Every structure is written in structure tokens, then in C-alpha cells.
Structure 1
Amino acid sequence: MMNAAKDLATEYLRLGGHRLLVMDDNILSTNCWEPDSREAESFWNERIETLNPKRRNEVMSFLPSINAR
């Protein structure tokens, strides 16, 4: 399932997504300072936001990390 999670994250970023992974005390979330493209926002809402929390966290783990900036 990890390849599917990576594929979803890659497609989201390819579509113009700007969310960054934020990890705080092993809790994953995202933050976004730039607006996503309409395509990326729709993709996130339809294909990632609807996943169960474990699967969503797997996808988020493939996003660029705020800690790496």
C-alpha cells in the first residue's frame, strides 16, 4: 500500500499542491502557506482527505517536510 500512498502524494504535488508535512510528537498534519491549484485541491479533497486516518498519514509521509526546509 506504500506505493499507492507515494503515488497519491506524487500526483497531488504534480497537480500543484503545496501542503507540507508537519510532524509534532509523532502526530502528522499538513500546513500550506501557498494556495493549491484548483486541480490539486480537488484531488486532495476527493482522493486523500476521504482516506481513513492511517492511509492519509501514509500519503502525508511522502509530502515534503516542513522540518526539512
Structure 2
Amino acid sequence: MAMSQSNIPPESGSDTETPSLKLAKEYLSLGGRRRSKIDDNITSVRQWEEDPPEAERFWQERVETLSKDKRKQVKDFLPTINTP
């Protein structure tokens, strides 16, 4: 299986990060395992393995509670399962 690509900009600085990028980075830093799938500009999330409890709690409390549009923005920053 090919390595997942990350949608997180490599040179992101904290002063220029969007709230969505910050949430995605924090989720991933907690060991989050969800991956985005982008097809025809429709973003969905795939999860084959359970998240560590801290990452799952973060996702449920900080991401799932967002509006649909803001939640999509966070998902867009997750590593993708799409091939380049």
C-alpha cells in the first residue's frame, strides 16, 4: 500500500495557520488515524483502525461539533488516501 499524502502544508507557521489546520494538526498529533478521501470535490473520511482514546475524544468534541463546512475544512487537511 502506498504512503498517504498529507494535505498539511509543510511550511505552516502557527501565525498563519487557519483554525481548521490547527484542529487537523492537533488531532493527528494525538495519534488520530482518520484519512480523507476526496473525489469530485466531495470529501469523506475513512477509518480502518480505531483512534487512541484522546484522539477520538478530540474528534468528537472539537470536530464533529463544527458546522458541515468547517468540518469539511478540517477533513481536507487530513492525510489523504488518494494517490497523487
TM-score (norm 2): 0.75
The alignment partner of 1:28 has SS state of strand
**Residue-by-residue CA offset, 1:44-64 (whole Å, 9 max, x unaligned):** 000001100100011011000
For residues 9 and 55 of structure 1, the distance between their equivalents in structure 2, rounded to whole angstroms, comes to: 11
Structure 2 unaligned runs (5+)?
Answer: 1-16
| TM superposition shift of 1:34 | 1.4
Percent identity over the alignment?
A: 50
For residues 6 and 68 of structure 1, the distance between their equivalents in structure 2, rounded to whole angstroms, comes to: 21
Structure with max Cα Rg? 2
- Residue 63 of structure 1 is matched in structure 2 by 78
Structure 1 unaligned runs (5+)?
Answer: none
Picking from 19, 33, 52, the partner of 2:48 is 33
| TM superposition shift of 1:24 | 2.2
Picking from 27, 30, 44, the partner of 2:59 is 44
4+ residue runs over 4 A deviation: none
Greater helix percent: which structure?
A: 1
Q: Between Structure 1 and Structure 2, how many residues are aligned?
A: 68
Q: Give RMSD over aligned pairs.
A: 1.4
Partner amino acid for 1:18?
A: R
Partner amino acid for 2:52?
A: S
